[in-house]
Amino acid sequence: MLELKNVTYAVGDKVILNDINLKTDDRFVAITGPNGSGKSTLVKIIMGLITPTTGQILFNGEDITHLSINERADKGISFAFQQPVRFKGLRVSDLLKLAYHGEKNIVDACEILREVGLEPKEYRDRELNDTLSGGEMKRIEIAMAAARGSALTLFDEPEAGIDLWSFHSLIRIFENLYAKTAGSIIIISHQERILNIADKIIYLKNGTVEAFGPKDDVLSYIANAEQKGVQQA
């Protein structure tokens, strides 16, 4: 169960997130909204990459607002970055082994790569440097989150940049992850196909939650809002 209470984040005079209140323990929640609405900031605050200016974050009833990133990871939160990070010298297998809490050997840990359409043998010894394409990095990032198997997994636009790979495979990863963890998955996405498989949707606009509820309700809300926008224009 994740709860955000009065979370605000401002940089100088600019308010990025304004008094966010959310409570969710749903299986699959999508966050959507226009560019610059604060979606990425919101998930970074949940993971601890950004400290909110005010407000509280609770995870399974515990206040985690002041916990570090790794303390939150230990509590069962993981995060697939929108822009995967490159490392000179570290290999795909190093990070996958770490993702599995070091419990699997290199060969077994890399089997998860199959789920993202990469052949483990070809990729496990590859360095996570700029010899890997953006699409390959993105798939490895998703594989890491899947390997981690956390109670709460945050994905920041997982579908971006992986167009050569099938959408169905991505959905299968979410399903497998849920089957393994019976936890929650929160995904930032603009993709209708992803929004359509969500249980609930959070619609963010200008740093505030404009709508949060069951998928169909929020999709209608967004459609109406867009319609109004067109009429006003």
Partner 1 sequence: MTETEKHILKEVAALDALPVGAYNIRSNGKSAARNTTANIDIVTKEDVSGIDIVIKPGTKNQSVHIPVIISESGLKEVVYNDFFIGDDCDVTIIAGCGISNCGGQDSRHDGVHSFHVGKNSRVRYVEKHYGEGTGTGKRLMNPTTVVDLDKGAYMIMETAQIAGVDDTLRETNATLADDAMLEIHDKILTDGDQHATARMTVDMNGKDSSCDLISRGVAKGDSYQEVMLAINGKNACHGHAECDSIIMDNGIILATPALKAECVDASLIHEAAIGKIAGEQLYKLMTLGLDEKQAEEMIVRGFLR
Please report, as ranges, the residues that interact with partner 1 according to CB under 8 A: 47, 49, 68-70, 73-74, 78-79, 81, 83, 85, 87-91, 94-95, 98-99, 101, 144, 148
Smallest separation, CB 94 to partner 1 (Å):
7
**Angstrom distance (rounded) from CA 97 to CA 124:** 10
**Angstrom distance (rounded) from CA 12 to CA 24:** 30
Query: Which CB sits closer to partner 1, 43 or 209?
Result: 43
Smallest separation, CB 78 to partner 1 (Å):
6
**Angstrom distance (rounded) from CA 41 to CA 18:** 11
Query: Which CB sits closer to partner 1, 69 or 223?
Result: 69
Query: Which CB sits closer to partner 1, 129 or 196?
Result: 129
Smallest separation, CB 196 to partner 1 (Å):
28
Instruction: Return all residues near 209 (Cβ < 8 A) that are at least 6 apart.
Output: 20, 21, 22, 202, 203
Selection from 28, 13, 27, 141 nearest residue 79 by Cα = 141
Query: Which CB sits closer to partner 1, 76 or 135?
Result: 76
**Angstrom distance (rounded) from CA 52 to CA 64:** 12
Smallest separation, CB 95 to partner 1 (Å):
7
Selection from 99, 73, 81 nearest residue 157 by Cα = 81
Query: Which CB sits closer to partner 1, 6 or 68?
Result: 68
Smallest separation, CB 172 to partner 1 (Å):
23
Selection from 159, 169, 200, 167 nearest residue 22 by Cα = 200
Query: Which CB sits closer to partner 1, 25 or 74?
Result: 74
Smallest separation, CB 93 to partner 1 (Å):
11
**Angstrom distance (rounded) from CA 84 to CA 147:** 16
DSSP 156: E
